[in-house]
A and B are shown apart, each in its own frame.
Chain A
Amino acid sequence: MPGSDSTAHKSKSRRPKYSQFSQQELPAFKLILTPGYVISTFIVVGLIFVPIGLISLFASETVVEIVDRYDNECIPKDFRDNRVEFIKNKQTNKSCTRTFTVPKQMKSPIFIYYQLENFYQNHRRYVKSRSDKQLQSKKNAAHIRECKPMGETDNKDPIIPCGLIAWSLFNDTYGFSVKGKDLKVNKRDIAWGSDKNYKFGADVFPKNFQVGDVGGKSLNSSIPLSEQEDLIVWMRTAALSTFRKLYGKIEDDLQANDVITVVIENNYNTYDFKGTKSLVLSTTSWIGGKNDFLGVTFITIGGICLFLAITFILLYVIKPRPLGDPSYLSWNRNSTPTPGR
């Protein structure tokens, strides 16, 4: 009876189709972590990582970096107790001269950065207070919804560029000279190409900027935004409260023991929020600026791997254990079997 039944329904049989996949019979490979594999993996990783770390450290060492914090020094002695008043007073002379010696030869290009501390460019209100549309194109001039309270002037004229970021543009300036000879500072090509070409429009000119409440630097309203590279750099907000931003490039080599004189216009108010300002001169190498972290990390990891490899070798030699010995299983280890799981 079942035979005739099954032939009658053969076409509709619900028998599952055979395939290696559906029957979970695909050939599979699962690495068993035998001592040999583990030890050799650790040794290989260690042998690769330690040299990389050493090379990185060395590269970082070749970078020459000069950091000079000037926010305190550039306040005249009379104003030391009342820095905020000094910086806010438009009448005071903000110029300040700093000198420092070049420790080693610095090959061009030498990058000039300003470094701010305790400045929260990453504050949510600050980050959002800009209008990318307005920056991009002339026709979006009225696009100032996100910019409050720096969106428009008292008589409802839109500010270009609007928002807190642009408004608080950094406005200290630096002039460099070596042995009485001025060093030329190149301020072109310090911003990202994409920012210049796409995000900041060539037909957008500053308007109503820094009228009324003055926050930071004013902009020349005859130059389009796409060429206001200081602004473009500043508008790419930093992720941390301590950050460096590119100010310009010196395209001359500096020799060791050269004395550099910097004339600083100390305009920017970091005194209200107890921030610091520093000037940074740095060369670069193939790993970028001066940064030991990468090298140290590589060396640490590589070292740990080598250490583990040696430990395992010792363990394997001193106290070997057969692979897959069932007597080590949890339910075999105790003489009294554990119930259930």
Chain B
Amino acid sequence: MRASINRPPTPNPDEEPEKELSVQEIINIKLIESGEKEKLMELLRERLIECGWRDEMKALCRAYARKKGRNNVTVDDLVQVITPKGRATVPDSVKAELLQRIRSFLTSVPLEAL
């Protein structure tokens, strides 16, 4: 038997315990269906622009591109460059505002799987 015939098992899309992930999926679906996800995105985007977070990230990207050579840059590179700092520098007020809205959405929408 050739090794190629032995397929590796179909990768399990659930990286975590099934139950939790499906709830999250349901939440995501509800968010999208109600249009709330788009509103939240817009809100977050706006806040992050206002506080200069976006400019900071762009500056990081620019510096990285300059160092690495602008034609050698990939989107993945840039995502990796700004993700750690990006997550860390979101202003607390912005985060709190978003979390508050998400929480009230989650409590207002009946989630049967809960």
Are these two chains actual partners, yes or no?
Answer: no
Q: Mark A residues whose CB is within 8 Å of B.
A: none
Q: Mark B residues whose CB is within 8 Å of A.
A: none
